[in-house]
Amino acid sequence: MLPDLHMHTPRCKHAQGEPEAYAQAARAAGLTRIVFTDHAPLDDEMDRVHRMTRAELLPYHAEIRVLAESWRGRLEIGVGLELDWLAGYEEWIRAAADAAPWDLCLGSVHFVPAPAGWEFIIRRPAGTEQAILAAYWQAWGDAAESGFFQALSHPDVYRSVERDPLPGERELACRALDRAARAGVAVECNTSLIRKGGRTLYPAPWLLEDVLARGIPLSSASDAHRPEQVGSGFQLLEELARDPRARFLDFRGGLGVAVAGGSHHRDTETQRL
């Protein structure tokens, strides 16, 4: 079964359940490998209600390492971060990424530039989706080329429903995917939209097809914020894994994350088969 490479802890202030409960849920779901990737801090003020503080980074790392040891032989557990990409915050991102030997660093774009500062794209005003597309996909491509991340999370997270691409959307996305392909960064297949009433993954079917056409590796993720969400929707990912073009990242405890069958490591560049 594929590993679940994206889940959170209460340290991010919007997830529930202790890490032990996530481990128990993983085993109950038949998983054998998971990686915690909680939200990393940006600075002392930016979106602090949705992420750890800087002071929590090392205790978080130590807590998950202790948990991994307690589950040794039953479940492989890694510890990583989900780091938001914002232009101008590179030193903050670097500080978090360098704070500990993380097994996986996921990049995310949740914010785009706005007249008043930054706009949280998931709570944008109705009818503004098309206006943010250029800014979003530019930031997504910048994140891919930054060198900080092994995979980029929920690539079309601004989408809340199934729909065809908006005018110009596919072209913008494909330019960003080309940048990810050159950088060797994986794209996450995230099942959380199903829990929100959707029928498909992040990415949308048309976007996933463009990912596969470029040979970009995939990352399997529930994005669990509660224990019962671990491994949810993974039947779709297992079906996808049968596509001969699909190459998923794997995790082997203590050795980091890489494309299944490749050399495992903790470097930011994804290993190719």
Helix (H) or strand (E) holding 72: none
Separation between Cα atoms, residue 212 and residue 216, nearest integer Å? 6
For residue 209, give both structure tokens: 């097809």
Domain range for residue 91? 10-259
Closest Cα to residue 93, out of 133, 67, 57?
57
Q: How many domains does the chain have?
A: 1
Beta carbons within 10 angstroms of residue 271's beta carbon: 18
Report whether pLDDT(255) > 70. no
Q: Residue 43's pLDDT band (boundaries 50, 70, 90)?
A: confident
Q: Please say if the pLDDT value at position 4 is more than 80.
A: yes
Residue 141 included in any domain: yes
* Region 249-267 average pLDDT: 61
State the DSSP H helix or E strand holding residue 43, giving kind and residue range, or none if neither: none
Residue 37 lies in a domain: yes
Two structure tokens written together for 259 = 């494309």
Residues 136 and 158: beta-carbon distance below 8 Å:
yes
pLDDT of residue 128: 62
| 2 belongs to a structural domain | no
Residue 267 lies in a domain: no
Distance of CA 203 to the CA centre of its chain: 12
Q: Residue 38: inside a domain, yes or no?
A: yes
- Cα angle vertex 171, ends 165, 174, to 5°? 100
Between the alpha carbon of residue 163 and those of residues 132, 171, 176, the distances in Å are 17, 16, 20
The DSSP 8-state label assigned to residue 270 in this structure reads: P
Q: Is residue 229 in a domain?
A: yes
Cα R_g (the chain), whole angstroms:
17
Closest C-alpha among 145, 157, 225 to residue 189: 157
Residue 3 domain-assigned (yes or no)? no
Residue 132 structure tokens: 């943010």
For residues 81 and 37, the answer to whether their CB atoms sit within 8 Å is yes
Residue 196, in any domain of the structure? yes
- Which tops the pLDDT comparison, 256 or 57? 57
Contacts of 267 (CB under 8 A, 6+ apart): 256
pLDDT by residue (tens digit) across 191-200? 999 998 888 9
Q: Tell me the CB-side half-sphere exposure of residue 162, using CA atoms within 13 A.
A: 8
Q: CA 94 to CA 41: how far, in whole Å? A: 11
pLDDT at 258: 72
- What pLDDT sits at residue 111? 86
Please give the Cα distance from 42 to 53 (Å, whole number).
8
Tell me how far apart the alpha carbons of residues 52 and 13 are, in angstroms, rounded to a whole number: 7
Return the pLDDT at 253: 65
Model confidence at 123, in pLDDT bands (50, 70, 90)?
low
Look at the block and give the residue holding tokens 């530019």.
Answer: 138
51 DSSP 8-state letter:
S
Distances in Å between the Cα of 155 and the Cα atoms of 22, 58, 204, 237 are 24, 28, 9, 16
For residue range 159-203, list pLDDT tens digits in order: 877 888 989 999 999 999 999 999 999 999 999 999 988 889 999
Domain at 198, CATH number? 3.20.20.140
How far is CA 255 from its chain centroid? 19
| Residue 263 confidence class, pLDDT cut points 50, 70, 90 | very low
Catalogue the E-assigned strands of the chain.
Answer: 33-39, 76-84, 105-108, 111-114, 117-120, 151-152, 186-190, 218-221, 249-252, 256-259
